[in-house]
Amino acid sequence: MSRILKTVIVNGSLGKPSRTRSLLDSLHLQLGQALGQSAQAVRLDVRHIDLVDLVADIGPVLYKDALSAQARDVLEAIETADFLIVGSPVFRGSLPGLLKHLFDLVDQHALQGTPVLLAATGGSPRHSLVLDHQLRPLFGFFSALTLPIGVYATPEDIQNGVVVSEALHKHIALAVDLAVPVLSALAHTQRSSQPALHALERQAA
């Protein structure tokens, strides 16, 4: 019986279609396949969140209690996820302000220990530093567990929504190889803790 990880994939692009979404889809596909074939089979129960669909909901809002029901539901999904995959385009050497604003609204304690796989897309290889200089520190603030290898892609790597670069394929494979043991261990720990949790629930009842 496979274990399930509640997974949220956040696409920080403000366009449709987007190379960032294509990169995230490729990561999701390859990671899902690898986890399904692992010794302790794991299935990702995935919810996709596209920032472009939330512009009107979170753009003018400064506080959680002013959010629409849709935006509150999105925040709850992020805060309660077992695993996050977060992808961002790079503009002027930085992630979009609205993506940062989305995570400004996330409870600062909600992501402690949550594994996060980082991805980004930009116009040239020089923007790849956004992974380590901006995205990793952001999730470090939350005390999340950022996985060791992030994935970055340029327009030459992804064409017509398809990953065409052999180098990018290899980098995705490396990121997946390093993520699988972490996610398998997480799923196994959750499964092992369920009997104790159920016992506590029965006592409380």
DSSP letters spanning 80-138: T-SEEEEEEE-BTTB--HHHHHHHHTS-TTTTTT-EEEEEEE-SSGGGGGHIIIIIHHH
pLDDT at residue 197 in the model: 34
pLDDT at residue 126 in the model: 86
Q: Which residue has the tokens 């990702």?
A: 44
| pLDDT per residue rounded down to tens, the chain (205 residues) | 578 999 999 999 999 999 999 999 999 999 999 998 876 789 999 999 999 999 999 999 999 999 999 999 999 999 999 999 999 999 888 999 999 999 999 999 999 999 999 999 999 988 999 999 999 999 999 999 999 999 999 999 999 999 999 999 999 999 999 999 999 999 878 754 444 333 323 333 3
DSSP assignment, residue 10? E
Closest among 18, 21, 46 to 32, alpha carbons compared = 46
| Cα(205)–Cα(200) distance, integer angstroms | 9
Residue 8's SS3 state is strand
